[in-house]
Amino acid sequence: MSNAHNAGFTGYLQRDLLLAYRRRGEAASPLIFFLLVATLVPLGVSPEAGRLEPLAPGIIWVMALLATLLSTEGLFASDYQDGSLEQMIIAPQLLAMPVLGKVTAHWLVTGLPLTLVSPIIGIMLSLPSDGFIPMMASLALGTGCLSLVGAVGAALTVSLRKGGLLLSLLVVPLYMPVIIFGSATVQAGIDGLNWFAPLAILGAMLATAVALCPLAIAGALRLVSSN
C-alpha cells in the first residue's frame, strides 16, 4: 500500500518535471521575471550602494513572492482542462501524495532556481556580503512555503476561468508571515545578529505547510471536481 503512495509521489514529480522541461520557456518565466524586475530597481531607485542596501532584503523577498505567485496559477489548470486531474483523483491512492509530488516539482522549477540565482540579484542590489547565505537559506525554505500555500489557492480557483485575481486575494494574506520572517532573516544576517532564529521559524512554517497543505489541496481538488 505505501509503495502505491510513493509511486504516486514520484510518478507525478517525474511527470511534472518532464512537462516543465518540454515547456522550458513557460517554466522559466518566473525566473526571468525575477531577474528583469531586479535590474529595474537600481534604475528606478538609485544605483548608489548606500541607498539600495537597506532596501535589498525586502525587494528581493517581494520579487521572489511575486514570481512564485505568477507561476502558481497554472499549477492545476492544464490537468483540470485535459482530464488528467480527474484521473488523479480517482487513482487508488491517497490524493495528498500525487499532490505533494506536483508541488515539489513546482518548487524545483520555480523556488529552487530563484534561490540559486538570488546571489546575482544580491550583487545588483548591493546586498552586503553577510546577507548572502541568510538570503539563500531563507529563500530555499520560504519559496517551499510559497509553493505549498499557493497550490491551495490554485486548487480552489482551478475551475474559474479568470481566477488570477481571486488567487492573489486568497494567498497573499497567507504569504505575509513568510515574507516577514524571510526578510527578517536576511536583515538579521546583515546586522550581524543571530539569523537562525527567524530562519527556524520559516523552517517551522515549511514543516507545517508540508504536513497540512497537501491535505487542504486534496480536499479542494475533490470539492472542485465534484461540481
Partner 1 sequence: MPQSPLLKVASLSFERDDCTVFQPISFSVEAGDIVQIEGANGSGKTTLLRLLTRALEASSGSVFYAGVDIDQCLYDYREQILYLGHQPGVKLNLSAEENLRWMSPASTAPEAIVSALADLGLRGYEDVPCYSLSAGQHRRVALARLLTSRAQIWLLDEPFTAIDKQGVAFLEQCMQQHLNQGGAILVSTHQDLAITGVRKIRVEPADDAGGF
Interface with partner 1 by CB under 8 A: which residues? Answer: 1, 4, 7, 11, 15, 18-19, 22-23, 78, 81-84, 86-87, 89-93, 222, 225-227
Query: 499549477: which residue's cell?
Result: 75
Q: Please, what is the minimum distance in Å from the beta carbon of residue 145 to partner 1?
A: 28
In residues, how long is the chain? 227
What's the CA gap between 112 and 129, in Å, rounded?
21
Q: Please, what is the minimum distance in Å from the beta carbon of residue 24 to partner 1?
A: 11
Q: Please, what is the minimum distance in Å from the beta carbon of residue 167 to partner 1?
A: 22
What's the CA gap between 74 and 66, in Å, rounded?
14
If the CB atoms of residues 93 and 185 are measured against partner 1, the closer one turns out to be: 93
Question: Would you report the helix, strand and coil content of the chain in percent, each value rounded to 5?
Answer: 85, 0, 15
First-to-last alpha carbon distance for the chain, in angstroms, is 29
If the CB atoms of residues 39 and 78 are measured against partner 1, the closer one turns out to be: 78
Q: Please, what is the minimum distance in Å from the beta carbon of residue 89 to partner 1?
A: 5
If the CB atoms of residues 39 and 81 are measured against partner 1, the closer one turns out to be: 81
If the CB atoms of residues 104 and 168 are measured against partner 1, the closer one turns out to be: 104
Q: Please, what is the minimum distance in Å from the beta carbon of residue 96 to partner 1?
A: 13
C-alpha cell at 145: 512555503
Residues with Cβ within 8 Å of 12's Cβ and at least 6 positions away in sequence, in order, are 88, 98, 99, 101, 102, 105
What's the CA gap between 167 and 153, in Å, rounded?
5
Q: Please, what is the minimum distance in Å from the beta carbon of residue 73 to partner 1?
A: 18
Beta-strand ranges (E) seen in the chain are none
If the CB atoms of residues 85 and 149 are measured against partner 1, the closer one turns out to be: 85
If the CB atoms of residues 22 and 50 are measured against partner 1, the closer one turns out to be: 22
Nearest alpha carbon to residue 40 among 110, 117, 121, 115: 121
